[in-house]
Amino acid sequence: MKRLGILFFVLMFALVSLAGCATSTVDIGIVLPTKDEPRWVQDETRFKDLLADSDYSVEILFSQGSTATELSNVETLISKGIKVLIITAQDGDAAGAAVEKAKAEGITVIAYDRLITNTEAVDYYVTFDSIAVGEAQGQYLVDHATGTGNPLYLYAGAASDNNAFLFFEGAWNVLQPKIADGTFVIENSSAAVGLQANATLTRTQMSTILDQVTTNWDFNTALSLAQTHLTAATVAQKGDVFILAPNDGTARAIADAFTADTAVTSYKITGQDAEIASVQYIIDGKQSMTVFKDVRTLVSDAITMAVSVLDGNTPTTTGTYDNGSIDVPAKQTAVVVVQQSNVTSALITSGYYTASQFTFPN
Ligand code: BGC
């Protein structure tokens, strides 16, 4: 009887260990927002490049613009036994439910590029300096405007993405004094016109502007919004125009709409992400600038953090971000402005892209 009892326990122990092995097949789970934007495919590629020789196993899943898919992706990764979750939220508030599930399983949560808001279930945040992204966009427009009365068209990212507010805040910091002194005239947002005397905006005030000028990070939305604005604008509101576009995908769509309008004689338009298609637009003079965010650095920061957690250490951070519930320890990376004159030095000499990916004029 005693022997049988011991045998039973040995068997049970073996079964439990086996079950443990079976469920813990992935160390690091990565959840990215969508394959439909080159930006996030770029991140996937850079993760794969960096992890090619890693001892840790990794799985990358895409949420395809859906918070529900994001949640089921996180559940799938939890069931595979991940110890660290690296996640770019589809919707910063809604992602709270997913990361709280992970946290309840003792998983370390790293918010990647987009802050997850109003939850305590975020351990770390790796990000670019998003205020600086917006400031660089605003500064580009300011640097290229002369005289007064220059038509200014404002566009923004998705209100569900905390970054959209940071980008807009940065741009406003730089543009507002030049709107107040008459250099620019806002043509496509009555809410922004109503707030143009304010050097800084509250989040609620920014929301009222975003309500009118959000692209929702969607190219088709950006295109039709720009077309609507151009249809509503008079010839006097066109001519040589200045356009704040929040990222490359929306910039190309908005640029196409402005190109098609014969009353627009020239435009300057911003972007960010240094997407291949936009770098080509810059070479061709169809987009004015982009803000290059070296995804290799963000990927390496996220993986360094994850490995440090897996090795039982505390990751190094450089500051904190208030997510509405807690101050999240964060590591932030600087950004670089790219325009026609420095495409080669910033993006090709640096090894980020190869010259063969672009068509240069003869
Ligand atoms: C990212 C940008 C990206 C945008 C749309 C933002 O959170 O920081 O790089 O262009 O989302 O996906």
Q: Ligand 1 centre from 18 Cα, in Å?
A: 41
Partners of residue 61 on adjacent β-strands: 31
Domain count across the chain: 2
Token pair 């160390």 is found at 27
CATH number of the domain bearing residue 234? 3.40.50.2300
Per-residue tokens: 127: 């990000």
User: What residue numbers bound the domain in which 33 lies?
Assistant: 26-122+295-334
Can you tell me the distance from the alpha carbon of 117 to that of 137, in angstroms, rounded to the nearest whole number? 25
The yes-or-no verdict on residue 10 having pLDDT over 70 is no
Is any atom of ligand 1 closer than 6 Å to the C-beta of 127?
Answer: no
In this structure, the answer to whether residues 269 and 306 fall within a common structural domain is no
Residue 40 lies in a domain: yes
Q: Which atom of ligand 1 is nearest to the CA of 128?
A: 8
In this structure, the answer to whether residues 148 and 279 fall within a common structural domain is yes
Can you tell me the distance from the alpha carbon of 241 to that of 225, in angstroms, rounded to the nearest whole number? 16
Is any atom of ligand 1 closer than 6 Å to the C-beta of 113?
Answer: yes
Q: How confident is the model at residue 3 (pLDDT cuts 50, 70, 90)?
A: low
pLDDT of residue 24: 72
In this structure, the answer to whether residues 77 and 211 fall within a common structural domain is no
Residue 33 lies in a domain: yes
In this structure, the answer to whether residues 200 and 256 fall within a common structural domain is yes
Per-residue tokens: 317: 């951070």
pLDDT of residue 21: 45
Residue 244 lies in a domain: yes
pLDDT of residue 129: 97
Residue 95 lies in a domain: yes
Residue 305 lies in a domain: yes
In this structure, the answer to whether residues 163 and 246 fall within a common structural domain is yes
Q: C-alpha angle 258/288/294, rounded to 5°? A: 125
* pTM, to two decimals: 0.93
* The dihedral sign for the CA sequence 72, 77, 80, 81: negative
Can you tell me the distance from the alpha carbon of 228 to that of 180, in angstroms, rounded to the nearest whole number? 26
In this structure, the answer to whether residues 162 and 304 fall within a common structural domain is no
Q: Select from 161, 165, 219, 250 the residue to mutate for testing ligand 1; criterion: most ligand atoms less than 8 Å from CB.
A: 161
The yes-or-no verdict on residue 305 having pLDDT over 90 is yes
In this structure, the answer to whether residues 155 and 251 fall within a common structural domain is yes
Residue 353 lies in a domain: yes
Is any atom of ligand 1 closer than 6 Å to the C-beta of 43?
Answer: no
Residue 157 lies in a domain: yes
Candidates 176, 92, 93; CA nearest to 134 is 176
Q: How confident is the model at residue 246 (pLDDT cuts 50, 70, 90)?
A: very high
